[in-house]
Chain A
Amino acid sequence: MDAISLMESAANGALIGLMYSLVAMGIVLIYKSSSVPNLAQGSMTMLAAYVVLAFANSAGAPIWAAISLAIITMFIIGLAIERVALRRLAGRPIIMILMMTLGLEIFLRAGSMTIWGGTTRPMNLGISDAPLFLGPLLINRAYAFGAVVTIAMFGFFVMFFRSRMGVVLRAISDDYTAAWSVGISVERGVALSWAMSAVVATIAGVLWSSVQGVDQSLAQLLLKGVTVAVLGGLDSIGGALLAGVLLGVVEGIASSVLDPLLGGASRDLVDAAMLILTILIRPHGLFGRHDIERV
């Protein structure tokens, strides 16, 4: 293991990590507005990828049109999920809400498998496979493209949270009773955050399926997304971005060091260990707000 290949794992890890952040951003958006930890984000990502393929293959739309159509579809699906499943659970114990998102996870994952089947399908975005050299480092173009899109999405959210609607969402996340009392429609804000998170899931789904194809394993991005979201602080979008890079780098280096020792598949172990350590050492994450509990 020489220094160059370690650097290469770190650089590619950082880019992959930025793509994890995209999944985490969806979780953060929903958690910020309604304190619902969305364990269905992984399967929403997977559903979105299948929807894109359905538009591209069955309807024969060009890939960019298919993606735009899928974004609109997922926006509506996000609204629907909030309206049907989550709104009635507001104020229920966290156990019920977690179980609801787990139920949604199973339903969306198995539902899209029922409709479209489980074989892996490619999604071609037209990113060339030619190697990209950054000095001595070999960078994967698909990862680099994903990282750029993630940063662009982050920029969009920074702008959005300064707009009028964004300020409304921030007010809801701060204290929804107070937001209610000054006449903000909390339901609409929460619904909007679900819709936006479904749109983020679409973008994440497209980027990830261009890397690994469309199949059930997209839903397993949930563990990465949750780890990144908790590490960055569940209510901080910027935190999700930085934590993604951090997790990606740690994962890249750790797996290139540990894989030969442990016989492969150490990535998930690294994720789980990061999640446990974060929760035990700093439960509110790197940039999250530390709430004080009153009896």
Chain B
Amino acid sequence: MIGSLLLLALAAPLYMNTLYLSSYLLPWLVWTAGALGLNLILGWAGQFHLGYAAVMGIGAYAAVHASRAGIPWEIAIVLAGITAAVIGSVFAFAALRVKGLYLALSTLALQFVMDWTISHVPAISGGTQATLQAPDIRLLGWAVTSDAGLYYVALVWCVLVTSFMLNLRRTALGRALVAVREKDYAAAVIGVNSFYFKLVAFATSSFIGGVTGAILVGTFYHAVTPEQFSVDVSIQALAMVIVGGLGSIIGSYFGAAFILLMPGVMNSFISWAATKFGFSLGIETLAHLPQAFYGALIIGFLLIEPLGLGKIYNNIRDYLLVWPFGYTKK
């Protein structure tokens, strides 16, 4: 099953037209990696993080600056990850002192501080309204410019993060994180150092976030501006994790796809409905309707299936596994 999916993913450039490849499949894979990184902190370690976009932004800017300075791209993205991990650990220091609501609010405030710093320090952003061109990705000296090449970069990163997360479940680290999530004092009683593991969780997820930001800019945006990593993007990443399902890996794939594709699908649905039923909507209405629908979607998911698409997938899978003998419930 996983093997055939991987084969399909590897062969995607052969049977898919480049428009779909570079404007749907590629961002989906990169965002899935990002959502998995956020899921590590939110779903596994149970720590709220409203500043994930800031962490991704740090990675993106670090990678762009490093590769503009002539550092090879492979090293530049690792540098991006490390920079993001170091600065992202600042968020952890808030987490070590407060939790729950107060953690959420302090990470939100840190997001604003990071936004402000990135856009107001000319050495980072090149001025308030500036856009920094990202140099082409070069792997071992080969410039990667074709759509298929960029797609493979994203695919490799996504597969790496996914296999890391899949294995994390079974390691001591993963179990310690789950213990901290369930109750940090109780974890301390059974000998899990919650201070240390919260720090590790924030650093790891920031590393993933930083590299994801760097790859997102390198393969998809090709240029970096502060608005790409604003607070709305943090909320979007959060929505991917919630809609997908907390702590669910397959859910992160579904969540990222859902949140990324929804505005486009919504727009084409509205224009289809408008021609079909003969009504016309103002430009402003059209611009804000997908956003309103997005909010309604988050509300709807929380009310109907709080564990998200991952849980729905599991329910369907369990149902089909024993079909038609549904009464032989495990």
> Which residue of the partner chain A has the closest CB to B303?
A88
Q: Which of A92, A106, A269 contacts B298 (CB 8 A)?
A: A106
Can you name 16 A-B residue pairings with CB atoms under 8 Å?
A94-B48, A95-B46, A99-B242, A103-B295, A106-B298, A107-B299, A110-B289, A110-B291, A110-B295, A117-B285, A263-B128, A272-B116, A276-B94, A276-B106, A295-B183, A295-B185
Distance in Å from the Cβ of B32 to the closest Cβ of chain A?
Answer: 19
Q: Cβ of A74: which chain B residues have Cβ within 8 Å of it? A: none
Is the Cβ of A265 less than 8 Å from the Cβ of B120? Answer: yes
B186 within 8 A of A: yes
B148 within 8 A of A: no
* Known contacts A94-B101, A99-B302, A272-B113, A117 near B282 by CB under 8 Å: yes
A111 within 8 A of B: yes
Is the Cβ of B100 less than 8 Å from the Cβ of A94? Answer: yes
Give B94-137 as 1s and 0s: 1 = Cβ < 8 Å from A's Cβ atoms. Answer: 10011011101110111011001000100000001000000000
Q: Footprint of B on A, CB under 8 Å?
A: 37, 85, 88-89, 92, 94-96, 98-100, 102-111, 113-115, 117-118, 223, 226-227, 230, 262-263, 265, 268-269, 271-273, 275-276, 279-280, 283, 293, 295
* Known contacts A92-B306, A295-B186, A114 near B235 by CB under 8 Å: no
Is the Cβ of B299 less than 8 Å from the Cβ of A98? Answer: no
Q: B interface, by DSSP: helix, strand, loop or mixed?
A: helix
B246 within 8 A of A: yes
- Restricting to B42-57, which residues have a CB under 8 Å from any CB of A? 42, 46, 48
Q: Which of A96, A263, A276 contacts B109 (CB 8 A)?
A: A276
B69 within 8 A of A: no
Is the Cβ of B302 less than 8 Å from the Cβ of A100? Answer: yes
Is the Cβ of B189 less than 8 Å from the Cβ of A295? Answer: yes
Complex CA gap A191/B252 in Å reads 34
Complex CA gap A102/B106 in Å reads 15
Q: Cβ of A85: which chain B residues have Cβ within 8 Å of it? A: 299, 303
Q: Which of A263, A268, A295 contacts B112 (CB 8 A)?
A: A268
Given contacts A110-B289, A280-B98, 7 further A-B contacts (CB under 8 A): A37-B104, A95-B46, A98-B101, A103-B297, A104-B295, A106-B295, A283-B97
* Known contacts A279-B102, A283-B97, A96 near B113 by CB under 8 Å: no
